[in-house]
A and B are shown apart, each in its own frame.
Chain A
């Protein structure tokens, strides 16, 4: 493991983002806009806003990072830059960790801005700590990123990569307990949801919002998923192709 190469990769990805101000603006402003709309949609049911908005704080970074990384790594695969890189002295895991670092930083900025707006002017109240909420958002973002890198190897075009959002993430969202508490789901669905990473991400967010409940198990499971997905992502980076 070489930190210079991980940093170089992270810096390179952040420079690419910097040259693309429109993407940055969309990453930051779109969730803020959605939060604001949500606030006024539920104007007459403020308790629903309290419930949904906090959950979404963790989901936004995940969706955004999933999209950006799946398209981004697909581009690296198809443009030949990945092949070009892997014949140099960088390991696949260093490459993936470079991505994790860059998008971890991007997620941090996004989470801080969006949660400040939600907790500030929009009047979202959480019983737990705001810092914890940001930590959960970053873990969610990294999870989205890891899934994105992994699934991008199953896509041949950017059209396909984008379609993995409804195919891979939406079912998890439906089962995660975001819409319906998991306790009231049919048994089989609840069992499936036990094995999906998003379930633990949403669970962690809800505990922070409620201000009680131990986060240890959620974090442990999420860390495990994260590591497994990053490793699986590294395996999908092929040095040799036909």
Chain B
């Protein structure tokens, strides 16, 4: 599932609410059958934040080992996620010396630890080089094929086509939702950017 909208449209707030770290003013959110933020969900959700919340004064391996120990995961799963995000060769490098893209991948690796059923990824591909972006999207599709749910936000409209279901957001409201194909058909266009513009102008 993709959450698409310009910056300030409320993507992060929605994702944070689902993870259960946002104090919400009204309403209820149910995640995997439980209220958002409940204790039982803590092993079942993987969360990737925009600001790559990792310890920059630790190496990749130390970061992952710590999160793995908190989750009760083995050393093997640490090696697995390192490989998934292609950081095996950087494993002994301090996170502060990683590039922005590498840092994002390390944070993604921590979200993948413990094989969560639901992955909430807040703009995971921002600033990555196109090859890597493609690789990550392939990984996301593999995970989805394994039966996991991925909720991914992005402000890059061309990433919309890679999602099965889309939610278009603007100023805290959902403009439209559906498959990329249907949304484009409704707006009589081939580009997601135009879908968005026509939806805004219609209002």
Q: Which residues of A contact B (CB under 8 A)?
A: 4-5, 7-9, 11-12, 15-16, 19-20, 79-81, 83-90, 239-242
Contacts and interface: CB of A to CB of B under 8 A. Distances in A.
B71 A88 contact: yes
Given A239-B37, A240-B20, A79 B70 contact: no
Contact of A242 (B19, B23, B67): B23
Interface string B42-56: 110101010101111
B57 interface: yes
Nearest to B56: A79
B22 A242 contact: yes
Given A12-B58, A79-B51, A80-B51, A88 B42 contact: yes
A79 B53 contact: yes
B194 to A, nearest CB: 35
B71 A239 contact: no
A22 B86 CA distance: 32
A240 B51 contact: no
A87 B54 contact: no
Given A12-B66, A239-B21, A240-B23, A19 B72 contact: no
A30 B168 CA distance: 57
B164 to A, nearest CB: 25
Nearest to A80: B53
Interface class of chain A by DSSP: helix
B62 interface: yes
B14 interface: no
A4 B55 CA distance: 19
Nearest to B47: A87
A88 B22 contact: no
Nearest to B43: A89
A94 to B, nearest CB: 9
B69 interface: yes
Given A88-B70, A241-B23, 10 more contacts: A9-B70, A12-B62, A15-B58, A16-B57, A19-B94, A79-B56, A87-B19, A87-B21, A87-B47, A89-B42
B71 A89 contact: yes
Nearest to A85: B70
B53 A83 contact: yes
B58 A16 contact: yes
Contacts of B66: 8-9, 11-12
B62 A4 contact: no
Contacts of A11: 66
B70 A240 contact: no
Contacts of A84: 47, 49, 53, 110
